[in-house]
Amino acid sequence: MSIDPQKKMDLLVSLCKRRGFIYPGSEIYGGFANSWDYGPYGSQLKKNIRDAWWKRFVECRPDVVGVETPIIMNPKVWEASGHLATFTDPLVDCKRCKKRFRADHVAEAAGREAGSTDLTGLVCPECKGEFTEVRNFNLMLKTYIGVTEDATSVAYLRPETAGGMFVAWKNIRDSLHRRLPIGVAQIGKAFRNEITTGNFIFRTREFDQMEIEYFVKPDQGAAAFERWLADMKSWCEDVLKLKPEHLVYHEIADEDRAFYSTRTIDIEYHYPFGVKELYGLANRTDYDLSRHQDASKEDLRFLDPETNERYIPHVIEPTWGLDRTVLVTLLEHLDIDEAESATGDAEPRMVLRFPPALAPVKAAILPLQKKGGLPEVATALAETLRSHGLATEYDESASIGKRYRRQDEIGTPWCITVDMESLTDQAATIRDRDTMAQERVAIAEIPAWIEAKLRK
């Protein structure tokens, strides 16, 4: 069923709240601008994505190691990286209604080219008032460490996880004694004082990133960039199962790239609210390590064991937003059609067709009756599946139709019904979420049956 994009977004947001994926944050206190609580299914989905990423890009690779560095670091880090001086957004205020906007967003909404901050002739979209001059606003979230709140105690919440990996480079180099390339991966929170938030979890002030700083010999950067582009594409298509036509690989033009970057590609997605960034890939050359070497006065060069040369490695940086990954996984796999409600009206029927490996719940065990020995058999099967590490729900409430609907809405790939015959044939019926095909499988074989499907 083709569905209006705004309606799709609204249905997704309400499904997420109703079924326990994502709720508005601080809701009992009237909410808090653009903060979200991940509920039981949302946090499990996010964890499954995070684990799949870590396994694929850290555990299963010989050239990448993981780290975990602090959210609050020495403020000198952000001075050296350039964030304190230049990590800004262009802002304007409406002189009449006093609302604040990102100038580039206002310009883009008025049809000017992406990134333009030229607002000549434009007025406030809310009240048609006149704008102030465009000013640069720093996105770093400031805090104070210790008992005094003055300039000496100022610290910042990291605006990206990358900084911690550059700062730890010297220790990683010295403790590993490896040859290049060396990739350093980290998953964690980042904070930005975003002015224009919105579109659900697309842009928030607190979000998770999954980033890799891939240190290479200076002449290996271009080739490593190509390999990472292929790896990111494969993550999107083979793990998240995003349709290739929903993705855009946006090569950033020379004049729009950071001055130190020799190549940058934004991986964009067709969201219901437009084509916008999902991930990024940049060749950052030796910029970051050179800046930190200058500022810290530590030698951050790499001693090449083959040539005996010392040089600053170049860095290829693939970066993934974890919350945006959750959002595209929900959007891509949300299937909406129409069904007749109990009162005979047409109402949207929603199924989340997640790739099974990412689904928060793998199996639901549904006894057809609440008595006659069925709950005992069904509960025992649920326990067995859990003991195999498979997230399993047991549900004996409501009609079987309602129970299937609920599991479809949380994206459970397999519903297993236990019926009277199960008591004699020791088998149960497995219903496939996507094909609706039903298969009778011996109860003792069900864990292996599911595990085999998950490996596919």
Name the minimum Å distance from CB 189 to ligand GAP. Answer: 11
The answer to the question of residue 280 lying near ligand GAP (CB under 6 A) is: yes
Of 455, 409, 430, the closest CA to residue 15 belongs to 409
Closer by beta carbon to ligand GAP, 190 or else 363: 190
Closer by beta carbon to ligand GAP, 213 or else 395: 213
Torsion of CA 134, 279, 203, 130, to 10 degrees: 20
Name the minimum Å distance from CB 322 to ligand GAP. Answer: 8
Tokens 């997230």 — which residue? 391
* Piece of 88-96, 109-117, 205-213, 424-432 that binds ligand GAP (CB under 6 A): 205-213
Closer by beta carbon to ligand GAP, 317 or else 409: 317
Tokens 């009240």 — which residue? 127
423, 367 contact by CB (below 8 A): no
At 339, list the tokens. Answer: 């069904």
At 275, list the tokens. Answer: 């084509």
Name the minimum Å distance from CB 173 to ligand GAP. Answer: 20
The answer to the question of residue 321 lying near ligand GAP (CB under 6 A) is: yes
* Piece of 111-119, 278-286, 306-314, 409-417 that binds ligand GAP (CB under 6 A): 278-286
For residue 322, how many other CB atoms are within 10 A of its CB?
Answer: 20
Site string for ligand GAP, 248-277 (x = CB under 6 A): -----------------------------x
The answer to the question of residue 323 lying near ligand GAP (CB under 6 A) is: yes
The answer to the question of residue 83 lying near ligand GAP (CB under 6 A) is: no
The answer to the question of residue 203 lying near ligand GAP (CB under 6 A) is: yes
209, 160 contact by CB (below 8 A): yes
Among 166, 207, 225, 414, binds ligand GAP (CB under 6 A): 207
Q: What are phi and psi of 317, to 5 degrees?
A: -120, 100
Among 225, 279, 354, 414, binds ligand GAP (CB under 6 A): 279
Closer by beta carbon to ligand GAP, 211 or else 419: 211
Of 444, 440, 418, the closest CA to residue 364 belongs to 418
Closer by beta carbon to ligand GAP, 211 or else 395: 211
**Separation of alpha carbons 300 and 289, rounded Å:** 7
Which residue's C-beta sits nearest to ligand GAP? 321
At 383, list the tokens. Answer: 């326990």
Name the minimum Å distance from CB 18 to ligand GAP. Answer: 23
Closer by beta carbon to ligand GAP, 316 or else 364: 316
Of 227, 228, 244, the closest CA to residue 236 belongs to 244
The answer to the question of residue 288 lying near ligand GAP (CB under 6 A) is: no
The answer to the question of residue 209 lying near ligand GAP (CB under 6 A) is: yes
The answer to the question of residue 192 lying near ligand GAP (CB under 6 A) is: yes
At 153, list the tokens. Answer: 């105690």
Name the minimum Å distance from CB 13 to ligand GAP. Answer: 16
Strand 22-24 and strand 36-38: pairing?
Answer: antiparallel
DSSP bridge partners of 392: 363
Among 89, 104, 194, 288, binds ligand GAP (CB under 6 A): 194
| CA dist 174 → 119, 170, 179, 369 (Å) | 51, 6, 11, 64
The answer to the question of residue 34 lying near ligand GAP (CB under 6 A) is: no
3-state SS string over 37-63? EECHHHHHHHHHHHHHHHHHHHHCCCC
**Separation of alpha carbons 400 and 368, rounded Å:** 7
Q: Which amino acid is at 69?
A: T
**Separation of alpha carbons 52 and 440, rounded Å:** 30
The answer to the question of residue 162 lying near ligand GAP (CB under 6 A) is: yes
Among 158, 314, 324, 406, binds ligand GAP (CB under 6 A): 324
Name the minimum Å distance from CB 445 to ligand GAP. Answer: 41
* Piece of 199-207, 234-242, 306-314, 433-441 that binds ligand GAP (CB under 6 A): 199-207
Is the link from the previous residue into 318 a cis peptide, with omega within 30 of 0? no
At 15, list the tokens. Answer: 């499904």
* Piece of 47-55, 286-294, 315-323, 386-394 that binds ligand GAP (CB under 6 A): 315-323
At 186, list the tokens. Answer: 């980290």
Chain residues that interact with ligand GAP, rule: CB under 6 A: 160, 162, 192, 194, 203-204, 207, 209, 211, 277-280, 317, 319, 321, 323-324
